[in-house]
């Protein structure tokens, strides 16, 4: 399945493979989509490896630089399992409202 990124309201939906073969082409579209969004939907991701994890961590860092907190709202089982194994389950935490 070909990887893709699309906006859906305030969420960024990613689908397909988040693997070493796909992340190079997904990096810039993901970073471009970050503006104004703090929630990722990874429920349609069917393959996920450490390159995908690196991409998510980069997105988190860039969101923090912009004063946002990025979190995964929904994720497929493979994404959840990999995040837990890598000690990155904090990415699955709900987005908290920022103080005004």
Q: What is the pLDDT of residue 92?
A: 87
Is there a domain that residue 98 lies in? no
Within-domain flag for 15: yes
Mean pLDDT within 79-92: 93
3-state class (DSSP) for residue 72: strand
Which residue range(s) make up the domain with 28? 4-92
How many domains does the chain contain in total? Answer: 1
CATH code assigned at 43? 3.30.750.24
Q: Is residue 99 part of a domain?
A: no
**pLDDT value at residue 13:** 93
> What pLDDT score was predicted for residue 36?
64
Write out pLDDT tens, residues 24-75.
999 999 998 887 656 899 999 999 999 999 999 999 999 889 888 888 989 9
Alpha helices in 1-100 (DSSP H): 23-33, 50-65, 77-85
């Amino acid at each position: 399945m070909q990887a893709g990124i699309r906006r859906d309201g305030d969420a960024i939906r990613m689908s397909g493979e988040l693997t070493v073969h796909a992340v190079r082409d997904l990096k810039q579209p993901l970073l471009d989509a970050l503006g104004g969004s703090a929630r990722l939907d990874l429920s349609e991701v069917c393959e996920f490896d450490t390159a995908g994890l690196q991409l998510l961590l980069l997105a988190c860092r860039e969101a923090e630089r912009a004063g946002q907190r990025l979190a995964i709202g929904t994720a497929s089982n493979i994404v959840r399992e990999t995040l837990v194994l890598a000690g990155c389950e904090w990415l699955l935490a709900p987005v908290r409202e920022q103080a005004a």
